Amino acid sequence: MVFIGLIALIVSTLLLPAAGLAGTPCEDLASALPPGTIDVTTQSVPAGSFTPPGSTTPLTNLPAFCRVAATLTPTPDSLIGVEVWMPTTTWNQKFRGEGSGGSAGAFSFDPMATALRLGYATMSTDNGHKGQAWTFAAQPEKVNDFGYRAFHESTLAAKALIAAFYGTGPRLSYYVGCSQGGHHGLMEAQRFPADFDGIVAGDPGHDWTHLMIGELWTGIVSHMKSPETDLPQAKLNLLTQKVLAACGDPINGPLGFLVDPRRCAFDPAQLTCTAGDAPDCLTPAQVESVKQIYQGPVNPRSGEQIFPGFKRGSENAWRQVLVGPRLNGVPIPGGSSFQFFTNGIFMDPNYDFHTFDFDSDAQFTDDKRAGSGMTYAEALDALDPDLKAFKQRGGKLIMYHGFADPFVTPQSSLDYYSRLTDASNGPEETTDFARLFMVPGMWHCAGGPGPSIFDPFAPLTRWVEQGIAPDRIIGTHTPNAAGPVAFTRPLCPYPQEATYNGRGDTTDAANYSCKVVVPPTLQGKAEKVGGAAGSGKVTISTKASFSGPIDLRNATLRLQQVLVEQAGAGELVRGSGGAQFLPIQLRPQPGAKAGQAVFATVAGALPGVTIQVKSTNSDGGQLQLSLKIEGATVVQAAGCATAASVGLRTRLTLDDQVDPAFDLNVEQPWQCKKGELKTP
């Protein structure tokens, strides 16, 4: 019994949280701050509720903690506000820094409260200024404070306070942030790899100067250009509906999102009004506006992409921030770009945004002088893919980004992670310390029709402390205006995505696996293109993965599109008389088997359609399809007049006794040949 009691005493001692009394009392901590620190407040806060300065809403259920507020002055122009909260008796010997959002000159008190409840000593900074206005840029060093210095200096100050208060520094240090917080998370990993052992960087605005140009572009090509190019919410809702109808899969499309919108090439020109304007179409001016937003800013002289455009499936959220904002009735660019350019770059509150040159002014934005001899691009952008120093310290990075983000395009994170992978010598050398999780259907940092409620921090701590890399993070969708159906999904390390296993409830993440999905490609040929009516012939074959079960004996095949040019001639494969004959619905021919069937039009029909389908496994695996159309009229694609190839879409679905429905929806280049179209 004595031995057992001794063991219990040792264990309880090891688990006992450090108390502030082991070090410097809270009220005496000012001396632990760096020289030049001003406006110091030290406060012992009892357990319960606490209302932060500037707020009227109390934070509840807090442990007792020591609060230190101060202003750091690492340069004569710097005034960096910092708040550090340290639990008095419940410290877990770890530290967590909290990121911010937008151009925020404000503290992240809610995340601090969350960290405090978990036992962390926690810190937040105002990034060296107050409010969202970029008037602080009149002092160039404050630009550097905002870009990188404020968070680093605040982290050093926080660690010094922790060491003084507890008598020992933090055993581990973490960072959590989204948006601007994601930007600063990557900045920390790149410039100050010793600051944190683990970093969560969500939807990062890390290419800051070009993000600002992208925000301006979105406004310039839409509501700022003219009333005709503005995009009302009803039109954006219509556009998203049509995108989902064209590209959505049978499980996730009805829920309101695309799993990977990069596979969707829907052309908004399909919605062009035939005359005037109407609720079910887009005017030519609106179509052009949408195309420009998809494209993103481009240098008009060099054709170089300045910043990526937005993804299909995000349109109904564009008016959240970037499309439509006005100041005193005057259209202005959204996000931080209005302040950034008027008070930061051009220092002219009456600056005419319509004069912005996406060649010379874009370069001027990058090259403008900030503080400490740096340019704006050098002080603000976190683009360095070399994280070897962070990795060598054992650092772990979790990035995430919403695929329907209408504010910071998800392509920016995909591009950075691609460069990081190259700089880290390949995927295996990257995923052992850095992983990117793309979130289908999530807007900026939260919300949307996808599985946008998830916790990336707990998996990060397991990775850092136990060496367990996150192979999936469970995301949840609770019913909201964007999506009325509750469901869960695994969020997967890129380039994997959640795929249905073929059995069980499609709303349950347990029935999904993380896999790399390789989109199917078609092999095919269209003959007698542009020839006499009824003389054309089309043959197409492909292999495609699917999740079973399947019974082709009772399946229904719906052939919706064959060689459709999104902009131009539209349906290239037409009936024998030249009229559109798709979509059509086919049933299996006599003699069909569960895993093999022929679907065909009735004998003598023109055009004649025959589709052979064969399954390699009735419980899921691969489908082999071959399609033949004879006696058709095949018109030439308009795009062949100016290019050697043209993008064409083919789509068919199998449903009834196929769970979930199989959806072959492929757009790919077809080569333009004399009298024919052919896959490469």
Over the stretch 59-68, which tens digit does the pLDDT of each residue have? 999 999 999 9
For 35-48, give the DSSP string: TT-EEEEEEEE-SE
119: left (phi over 0), alpha (psi -120 to 50) or beta: left
SS3 348: coil
Catalytic residue among 100, 444, 547, 551: 444
The residue assigned the tokens 């910043």 is 307
Of all residues in the chain, the percent with pLDDT exceeding 90 is 88
pLDDT given for residue 618 in this prediction: 56
Q: Greater confidence, 549 or 201?
A: 201
Active site (annotated) includes residue 354: no
Nearest to 91 by CA among 124, 109, 117, 111: 117
pLDDT given for residue 12 in this prediction: 40
Contact yes or no for 586/597 (Cβ under 8 A) = no
Joined tokens for residue 149: 């210095």
pLDDT given for residue 444 in this prediction: 98
How confident is the model over 571-583, as pLDDT tens digits? 999 998 899 999 9
How confident is the model over 350-383, as pLDDT tens digits? 999 999 999 999 999 999 999 999 999 999 999 9
The Cα–Cα gap between 318 and 325 comes to 11
pLDDT given for residue 502 in this prediction: 85
From the number of C-beta atoms within 10 Å of its C-beta (0-12, 13-18, 19+), residue 87 rates as buried
CA dihedral 224, 226, 228, 234 (to 10 degrees): 20
Arithmetic mean of pLDDT, 271-290 = 96
pLDDT given for residue 548 in this prediction: 66
How confident is the model over 88-100, as pLDDT tens digits? 999 999 999 999 9
The Cα–Cα gap between 464 and 395 comes to 7
pLDDT given for residue 19 in this prediction: 43
Arithmetic mean of pLDDT, 505-523 = 94
Arithmetic mean of pLDDT, 136-155 = 98
User: Is the peptide bond prior to 484 cis by the omega test (within 30 degrees of 0)?
Assistant: no
pLDDT given for residue 662 in this prediction: 87
To the nearest 10 degrees (0 to 180), the angle between helices 150-166 and 180-191 is 80
Catalytic residue among 179, 413, 547, 576: 179
- DSSP classification of residue 340: I
Q: How far apart are the first and last CA of the chain?
A: 79
How confident is the model over 100-140, as pLDDT tens digits? 988 878 999 999 999 999 999 999 999 999 988 999 999 99
Active site (annotated) includes residue 645: no
pLDDT given for residue 519 in this prediction: 86
SS3 414: helix
Beta strands in 444-569 (DSSP E): 473-477, 487-491, 497-500, 512-515, 523-527, 536-547, 556-565
To the nearest 10 degrees (0 to 180), the angle between helices 208-220 and 360-367 is 150
C-alpha to C-alpha distances, 433 to 207, 298, 430, nearest whole angstrom: 22, 34, 6
β-bridge pairing 121-125 and 80-87: antiparallel
> How many CA atoms lie within 13 Å of 116's alpha carbon, on the beta-carbon side?
29
pLDDT at residue 409 tops 90 = yes
β-bridge pairing 198-202 and 396-402: parallel
Please give the helix or strand (H or E) that residue 140 lies within, else none: helix 140-144
Q: Confidence band (pLDDT; 50, 70, 90) for 18?
A: very low
Arithmetic mean of pLDDT, 540-563 = 89
Residues 6+ apart with CB under 8 A from 6: none
3-state helix, strand, coil in the chain (%, to 5): 30, 30, 40
Report pTM: 0.91
C-alpha to C-alpha distances, 266 to 238, 564, 626, 639, nearest whole angstrom: 13, 11, 25, 16
- Choose the weakest-confidence range: 291-295, 330-334, 481-485, 506-510: 481-485
The Cα–Cα gap between 25 and 20 comes to 7
Q: Confidence band (pLDDT; 50, 70, 90) for 566?
A: confident
Mean pLDDT for the chain overall:
94
Residue 436, strand partner residues: 399
Active site (annotated) includes residue 49: no
CA dihedral 572, 574, 579, 584 (to 10 degrees): -120
Catalytic residue among 405, 424, 615, 663: 405
Q: Confidence band (pLDDT; 50, 70, 90) for 481?
A: confident
Q: Greater confidence, 615 or 66?
A: 66
Beta strands in 518-579 (DSSP E): 523-527, 536-547, 556-565, 570-571, 573-574
Arithmetic mean of pLDDT, 182-207 = 98
Arithmetic mean of pLDDT, 531-546 = 93
pLDDT given for residue 567 in this prediction: 75
Taking CA 292 as the corner, what is the angle to CA 288 and CA 297, rounded to the nearest 5 degrees? 155
pLDDT at residue 58 tops 70 = yes
Arithmetic mean of pLDDT, 186-208 = 98
pLDDT given for residue 620 in this prediction: 59
